[in-house]
Amino acid sequence: MKKLVIIGCGGIGTYHLNHFLKYTDIDLAGFCDLIPERAQEFVEKAGTGKAFTDWREMYDEIQPDMVFICIPPYAHGEIEFETIRRGIPMFVEKPVSLDLELARKIRDEVEKAGLITAVGFQCRYSNIVKDTQEFCKRHTINFVNCFRMGGIPGTPWWKVKSLSGGQIVEQTVHNFDMIRYIMGEPTQVYTMGTRGFVQGVEDYDTDDLTTTTIRFASGALGTVSTGCYATGGQCCDNTITFSAKDARLNHYIISKVDIYGEEPVVQDEGGSEVVKGDGKMSADGGQAITIRDNKQAGDLCDRTFVDAVLTGDGSKILSPYADAVKTLEFVLACNASMEADAPVRIENK
């Protein structure tokens, strides 16, 4: 049986392990974390494998056939280079790094080695994505508008921007990635950030709220507004709206899609019309067509990578490392724009 190992036995490592526990065709051979108890907990949960605190030792002893690298954003580099040198197919958690040049070097080494890779953009594997893709083929999308409000995750490194990259890079990267996946490449971003709304969180030094304006190669424009100041569930939201002249689709990541404008609209008698004459504007989009997510995305994302390693065919992987580097450039450009207080071009090289 092929041997799978995990480096980083924290929150997302646990998420992946829960998927692996259902696999009967894989040997869960090793678990590595700098905190020994975490790796040991994985051994106990899996009922198999060995715990390590040094990933090199784990590689030497186990000689794994694949690895899931589930470490924090700031910790990437050495592990990937050595993994590639040893020819071990790797699944890397997003964001793949905080350093674009480093990520590009890793990407180039991956290509030279012809290694199978995947990145943890599981949202791409949701069944509703195909509905969004088809909608965007039926209509010309002029504008995409994303709103992602939430709170501060519990991991201590998240609150420190130099360790996590900040909310856009660590968290809203899923939304930026989905927007790229559907809309094609962005060419320019302009991001503004603000601080001071979040109070009393120890070590917190990142942006509470950012708004990004995006220009796409297609000519479309976009905005992404994202904040981590929300504490009440009712003010959390995670929507991407794809807007055409005659229809609109709301994509709720790994949840549902609502399509407006593809069913006849029953107009209110005047009530919702705010502009009459040549500039018609209706506040009510009519009846939505709703398609729900089937909750398979996370499982499918992991299984697709494992199957790729078993068969040697990586063609079904929706987010290989090289593609994730483009998403990394997108989100790091937002940070660069915030720092410069100016628009930043995206090179896509």
Ligand X SMILES: NC(=O)c1ccc[n+]([C@@H]2O[C@H](COP(=O)([O-])OP(=O)(O)OC[C@H]3O[C@@H](n4cnc5c(N)ncnc54)[C@H](O)[C@@H]3O)[C@@H](O)[C@H]2O)c1
Chain contacts with ligand X (rule: CB under 6 A): 7-13, 32-35, 38, 55, 70-73, 75, 93-94, 120, 122, 155, 170
Q: How far is the CB of 31 from ligand X (least distance, A)?
A: 10
Min dist. Cβ of residue 277 to ligand X (A): 47
Residue nearest to ligand X (CB): 10
CA distance 157 to 153: 9
Closer by beta carbon to ligand X, 11 or else 271: 11
Alpha carbon 190 to its chain's center: 20
Q: What is the Cα–Cα distance from 111 to 321, expressed in whole angstroms? A: 10
Say whether 231 sits in a helix, a strand or coil. coil
Shorter beta-carbon distance to ligand X: residue 23 or 74:
74
The structure tokens listed for 258 are 């609502």
132 Cβ contact partners less than 8 Å away, ≥ 6 residues apart: 182, 242, 249, 251, 257
Question: End-to-end distance of the chain based on CA atoms, in angstroms?
Answer: 39
**Of 49, 67, 91, nearest to 7 (Cα)?**
67
Q: Minimum distance between the CB of residue 156 and ligand X, rounded to whole angstroms?
A: 8
Three-state DSSP state, 345: strand
CB of 75 to ligand X, least distance (A): 4
Whole-angstrom Cα distance, residue 114 to residue 90? 12
Q: Which CB atom, from 34 or from 102, has the smaller least distance to ligand X? A: 34
Minimal distance in Å, beta carbon 140 to ligand X? 31
Query: Is 285 exposed, middle or buried (CB count within 10 Å of its CB: 0-12, 13-18, 19+)?
Result: middle
Nearer to ligand X among residue 143 and residue 157 (C-beta): 157
Return the half-sphere exposure (C-beta side, CA atoms, 13 A cut-off) of residue 125.
21
Compute the least distance from the CB of residue 165 to ligand X, in Å. Answer: 9
Q: Which is nearer to ligand X, 35 or 235 (CB)?
A: 35
Closest contact distance (angstroms) between CB of 162 and ligand X is 14
Task: Decide whether 159 or 248 has the Cβ nearer to ligand X.
Answer: 159
Looking at beta carbons only, is 128 or 136 nearer to ligand X?
128
Measured CA to CA, the distance from residue 105 to residue 103 in angstroms comes to: 5
Structure tokens given for 308: 């790729």
C-alpha span between 289 and 134 (Å, rounded): 14
Cα radius of gyration (the chain): 22
Q: For ligand X, which is the closer residue by CB, 7 or 214?
A: 7
Dist. CA 348–CA 327, nearest whole Å: 9
DSSP 316: T
Could you tell me the smallest distance in angstroms from the CB atom of residue 116 to ligand X?
18
